[in-house]
Amino acid sequence: MINNPKISIIIPTFNQGQFIEQTILSILNQTYKNFEIIIIDGGSKDNTINIIKKHKTHLTYWISEKDSGQSEAINKGIAKTTGDIITWLNSDDYYEPNTLEIIANNFIQSDSLAVVHGKARLFGAKIKDKIIGLNSDIEIHQYLPFMRFPQPSSFYSKDAMRKLIPINEDLHYAMDFEMIVKTVLLGSNVKRIDNLLSHYRIHENSKSNNDLSFLIEWTEVISRLFNSIPLGSFYNEELYQLSLIKSKSILKYKIDIELNSKHLEEIFLSNLNLHYHYHYKALNYSTCKIISDYLKTNYTTFYTENNYSKYNLRLKIIPIFILKFLRKITR
């Protein structure tokens, strides 16, 4: 990596006029100055365009036109980048002042890096602030069950990004997850850092409020992963039989790393565990029972170690308690 790499930042946006200026200013006020900003707007009808025009002299490129969603907007943005490091920052999030300096220094120190990711502050009007992101390094296959780090705090080398484009426009929630899955499967170097890099906003219109949509698309990506490996066909079939995917994937990923049966089992069980706990929070006992019965029969140790019997017992009791409470307060 050259000593002063240019960082390309794409801002995909649609009707985020109340937030986007903070996003833009968080880039313009960076301590590191070799960057470019590319804004791809989906045809906003609020004050977004006025704010973009206010800062247009600082933008490398911007456009406002209807698109199919965030993934298409990011693809359009990537096509306009000229940087050595590439990322996107959603128009309701913003950076820490020294984020780009930290990222540039990490890529300068290692020519082999494909991705650098750090931490983010999760915040919003109705949630308690918390720092999210990995606290320690993990084995490379452990990136594969689900998204392990906040996307606003992740950056790709230009060479790594070239291997990933175009981003899958059929995915609207898990395109970033599929990107890291492909990166890992290609054997590329992923680096975790402890630094707080971004502020990840949750609000009433956030996609991040839709946990089930993320989970469904993560599982679709995992299905494609299993379909790419002869050893994985069993797990793909099980996901289908458990109705966690709608159809058996026909797409395959290029794989340059070795994944053994233990790795695949770990990925599979991690995904089932996510599904169980989503439906547990939703008090959906029937789906939880299907998953837990399957685990109890086929993965007894995992079932026991993760206390599924305790959660199942709670599910039997909680709905009754809630119903009694609702009857009491409506009398």
Each residue's pLDDT tens digit, 117-154: 999 999 988 889 999 999 999 999 999 999 999 999 99
- Asked if 170 and 228 sit in the same domain, the reply is no
pLDDT(183) > 70: yes
pLDDT single digits (tens) 219-249: 999 999 999 999 999 999 999 999 999 988 8
Residue where a domain stops, chosen among 140, 175, 208: 208
- Asked if 179 and 215 sit in the same domain, the reply is no
Q: Does 2 fall in a domain?
A: no
- Asked if 201 and 229 sit in the same domain, the reply is no
- Asked if 194 and 272 sit in the same domain, the reply is no
Q: Does 47 fall in a domain?
A: yes
- Asked if 201 and 218 sit in the same domain, the reply is no
- Host domain of residue 252: 210-328
Q: What CATH number is given to the structural domain containing 71?
A: 3.90.550.10
Q: What is the DSSP string of 236-288?
A: HHHHHHTTSSSS---------S---HHHHHHHHHHHHHHHHHHHHHTT-HHHH
Please give the Cα distance from 11 to 27 (Å, whole number): 11
pLDDT single digits (tens) 290-318: 999 999 999 999 999 999 999 888 877 76
- Asked if 147 and 65 sit in the same domain, the reply is yes
Please give the Cα distance from 228 to 212 (Å, whole number): 25
Contact 6, 37 (CB under 8 A): no
- Asked if 200 and 288 sit in the same domain, the reply is no
- Asked if 230 and 108 sit in the same domain, the reply is no
Residue 133 corresponds to which tokens in the numbers above?
């992101």
- Asked if 188 and 218 sit in the same domain, the reply is no
Residue where a domain stops, chosen among 158, 193, 208: 208
- Asked if 315 and 220 sit in the same domain, the reply is yes
Q: Does 279 fall in a domain?
A: yes
Q: How many domains does the structure of the chain reveal?
A: 2
The pair phi, psi for residue 69, each rounded to 5°, is: 140, -170
